[in-house]
Structure 1
Amino acid sequence: MKKSISKSVLAAAAATVLLAFPSCNKKEASSAQKVVRINFQTGNLCGAPVHVAMKMGLFDEELEKIGQKAEYVQQVEGGATLGEMIASGKVDAGYGLYATQLQAMENGLPISYTSGIHVGCTKYYVRKDSDIQSVKDLRGKKIGVPGLADSSVMNLKRKLMDVGIGVTADNNEVEFVAYSSADLAIALNNGAVDVIGAHDPVATKGELAYGFRKILDTGTDEKFRNEYCCQQFVTHKLLRENPEGAAAVTRALQKASAYVEAEPRATAQLQIENDLVAGDLDFNASLLDELNFIPSRSLGRQTFDAAARQLKEAGILKNSTDIEKFIAQGYIELFGVPDGYSYDKETKTFTEINGIRTGFPL
């Protein structure tokens, strides 16, 4: 469901937390123009904020203000994963499903998140004739997902814990099975699995093609409707050597997200015209319009905090992990970055949103 920006804003946000990532010595700084390498994907409707920031020049604009420039590094389907690209030092910043990277971060993936960008693109379906009515009925069921570390798994495990279904190593009462995104709907329709978890547009396309019945939608569910699925990240190397660049790309993506929220049809058209996403304009625009692209750093951190704590309780994050340190280093506040932005399509202007956000009104 479309949400409006909350009017209940608390006091100003806390001071910048960058002690774990000190800037490099000024004497070591290069005289060459600094470049921030930004990851992007094609074919991903929910990648709309990155596409907008690239094609409308928002990354360029924010970086040019501080004498820097952007370069774009594409993640190709079937090629290196985002985690592999980060670990090999090929990208400095990007955007994606934060929960998919939590275990990798625990194991040393050198990134921190800086802002929530997008809420609710993951949905869970059963066949129309299934006796499963809700998450409470999933004990003993087989669940198809895009990957075993995917955010669709992490979110569902948290929901299953809430209803008393075991997801821990010593009490696992469901089975997750990985399929390619394109095969998830077929697997459910053929009875290979009882449930699927999928991200839009794959999720909605499967629903329409096969008449699946939705049992959980992270965009409307009470637990997840105030949590971000997709967030902005920057690498620790960028934080150490170029915190100003990290702040600039975060501001740019926040602005782009606010633009998508206000202009879903124009965004869908931009994606199609630039061969970034295929599909029908009306269908793509309607999906973007249903989703929540209101950016928020504070609510993004609340999301990260809640997920990390519950996943440690489930044994998905290690018992040995210092959860307070993990959260403090995994989600940071950058100097010069507001809580978020709104966009006025009549005046074509952005407005900073500051304070601490606690949720979106119904």
Structure 2
Amino acid sequence: MKKSLLMGMALVSFLSFTACNKKQAASSDSAQKVVRINFQTGTLCAAPVHVAMKMGLFEEELAAIGQKAEYVQVVEGGATLAEMIASGKVDAGYGLYATQMQAIENGLPIAYTSGIHVGCTKYYVRSDSDIYSAKDLRGKKIGVPGLADSSVMNLKRKLMDEGIGVTAENNEVEFLAYASADLAIALNNGAVDVIGAHDPVATKGERAYNFRKILDTGIDEKFVNEYCCQQFVTHKLLRENPEGAAAVTRALQKASAFVEAEPRLAAQLQIENNLVAGDLDFNAELLEELNFIPSRSLGKKTFDKAARQLQEAGILKKTTDIEKYIAQSYIELFGVPDGYSYDKATKTYREINGERKDFTSL
């Protein structure tokens, strides 16, 4: 009896220990379910990220599946977003998709999941210039924020349409990189003939120097239904936590819909939280000018068209399997609608489903 009693006590102790360990393991697993989301300050069109952070949309979507959000800032002069992704410090984020297309081809482990907003890139000449459109850019010097920047990728695609060479074998324009703050000065001083810039730098330069706009991706026929900024997730997050990838995508889609409906409130939130400096009226005006209607289907169409044309231009390698590249670089996540709209009267979100060809169907 004593032996049986001891064995029984040992069994109870073992089962208790096992149950405790399972609880600890579950608790540990739960603690590991943290999605690290990149953000940066000073960027007006990053309003959806700022809104999702400060209004709790990331936390709300992740909490619903028992997960948490952490925020990782990209600091100017520090590690780039691509470097932070490659080193495993970021799981998800948002930015100019075209800027990362070559990096993805070279192994940057991310995939895009939704288009977030259209526009924000503009091209200017001095008021006394004889340049009036992209057709007039053959032989010109063009100042840009970086040689892999989306302003370069978009303009090369536009120039190809106009029959102007942008390939290594036939290059009829020259791109020169400047710090964003120096672009307007470079144009005003005649160091370049044209500049490509993103808002708010673009519009500030226009107003300060009376520049003339020759191309605006927010209204140009080629780009008006194409997204400049899109949501991405890392391959690691897709493999290990697809539910978290879906949650942050839904949150950013909702935040984007909010900015579309409430641009002034979004601008105010950015200023009050020291995320973007500037005048409220000016910032709100620019946000209202941009199209923040999110769409996964149009986001993918944007990526598809750009990838094919950039391969034709030689920016993406001729040897790249473009079908595989597109399929791996743009993912449709389970549980993510095509987009959302926001009703400011009722303060509610509505899912938008079904593939979109353009924004006229809304």
TM (norm. structure 2) is 0.92
Asked whether the 8 Å contact 2:263–2:287 carries over to 1, the reply is yes
Find the aligned partners of 1:47 and 1:118 in 2 and give their Cα distance.
10
21, 30, 33: which is aligned to 1:32? 30
Letter matched to residue 316 of structure 1: I
Stretches (4+) displaced over 4 A? 27-30
Output aligned runs, 1:334-345, within 5 Å. 334-345=333-344
Structure 2 distance, partners of 1:63, 1:254, is 14
Partner of 2:248: 249
1:169 and 2:164 aligned: no
Residue identity matched to 1:36: V
| Residue of structure 2 equivalent to 1:90 | 89
Match of residue 77 from structure 1:
76
Kindly provide the amino acid, as one letter, of the partner of residue 31 in structure 1: D
8 Å contact from structure 2 (residues 30, 67) kept in 1 = no
Q: Aligned runs of 1:126-137 on 2, under 5 Å?
A: 126-137=125-136
**Which shows bigger deviation, 352-361 or 51-60?**
352-361
Alignment of 1:51-200 (within 5 A): 51-200=50-199
Instruction: Give the aligned CA root-mean-square deviation in angstroms.
Output: 1.3
Q: Which residue of 2 aligns with 1:19?
A: none
Distance 1:273 1:107, change over 3 A: same
> Residues 257-276 of structure 1: matches in 2 within 5 Å?
257-276=256-275
Once structures 1 and 2 are overlaid, which stretch shifts more, 217-226 or 29-38? 29-38
User: Hey, what's the Cα distance between the residues in 1 that align with 2:201 and 2:77?
Assistant: 17
Tell me the matched-pair count.
336
The equivalent of 1:22 in structure 2 is: none
Distance 1:45 1:172 in 2: 33
1:297-347 Cα shifts (integer Å, max 9, x gaps): 000000000000000000000011000000000001000000000000000
What are the Cα deviations for residues 123-152 of structure 1, in whole angstroms up to 9, with x where unaligned?
000000000011000000000000000000
Partner-residue secondary structure (3-state), 2:227:
coil
Which amino acid in 2 is paired with 1:125? Y
Which amino acid in 1 is paired with 2:64?
A: K
Equivalent residue for 1:7? none
| Greater fraction helix | 2
CA contact (8 A) 2:143 2:196 kept: yes
* CA apart distance, 1:29: 11
Instruction: Give the Cα separation in 1 of the matches to 2:60 and 2:128.
Output: 52
> 1:68 and 1:133 mapped to 2: Cα distance?
52
> Do structure 1's residue 47 and structure 2's residue 46 form an aligned pair?
yes
Which one-letter code corresponds to 1:69 in the other structure? Answer: K
Cα displacement (A) at 1:31:
2.3
Instruction: With the length of structure 1 as denominator, give the TM-score of the two structures.
Output: 0.92
Q: Structure 1, residues 251-297: CA drift from partner, whole Å, max 9, x if none?
A: 00000000000000000000000000000000000000000000000
Residue 211 of structure 1 and its aligned partner are, at CA, apart by: 0.3
Amino acid at match of 2:341: S
1:360 shift after superposition = 1.6
- In 1, Cα distance between equivalents of 2:357 and 2:44: 27
SS of the aligned residue for 2:310 comes to helix
| 1:351 match | 350
Which residue does 1:300 correspond to in 2?
Answer: 299
In structure 1, the partner of 2:9 is none
- What is the CA distance between 1:30 and its match in structure 2? 5.8
RCO higher in structure (CA 8 A, sep ≥6): 1
How far apart are the structure 2 equivalents of 1:32 and 1:156? 46
Q: Name 1:215's counterpart in structure 2.
A: 214
Structure-2 residue corresponding to 1:6: none
Say if 2:116 and 2:231, in contact at 8 Å, map to a contact too. yes
Partner AA of 1:186 in structure 2: I
Instruction: Tell me the SS of whatever aligns to 1:167.
Output: coil
In structure 2, C-alpha distance between the alignment counterparts of 1:28 and 1:214, rounded to whole Å:
57
Change (3 A) 1:28 1:137: farther
AA in 2 matched with 1:135: A
- Counterpart CA distance in 2 for 1:89 and 1:178 is 28
Deviation at 1:36, TM superposition (A): 0.1
How far is 1:225 from its partner?
0.3
Residues 107, 29 of structure 1: alpha-carbon distance in 2 compared, 3 angstrom cutoff: farther
CA distance in 2, matches of 1:272, 1:291: 18
1:20: which partner in 2? none
1:291 correspondence with 2:284: no
Report the secondary structure of 1:94's partner residue: strand
Q: Which runs of 5+ in 2 are unaligned?
A: 1-24
Cα gap change, 1:334 to 1:91, in 2 (>3 Å): same
| Secondary structure class of the residue paired with 1:208 | helix
In structure 2, C-alpha distance between the alignment counterparts of 1:112 and 1:147, rounded to whole Å: 22
8 A contact 2:30–2:66 mirrored in 1: no
CA distance in 2: counterparts of 1:194 and 1:361, whole angstroms? 36
Q: Distance in 1 between matches of 2:123 and 2:27?
A: 49
Match of 2:22 in 1: none
Larger Rg: 2
| Distance in 1 separating the partners of 2:30 and 2:122 | 46
Question: Could you tell me how far apart the structure 1 residues matched to 2:349 and 2:231 are?
Answer: 19
The equivalent residue for 2:230 is 231
The aligned residue for residue 310 of structure 1 is: 309
Q: Secondary structure at the match of 1:192?
A: coil
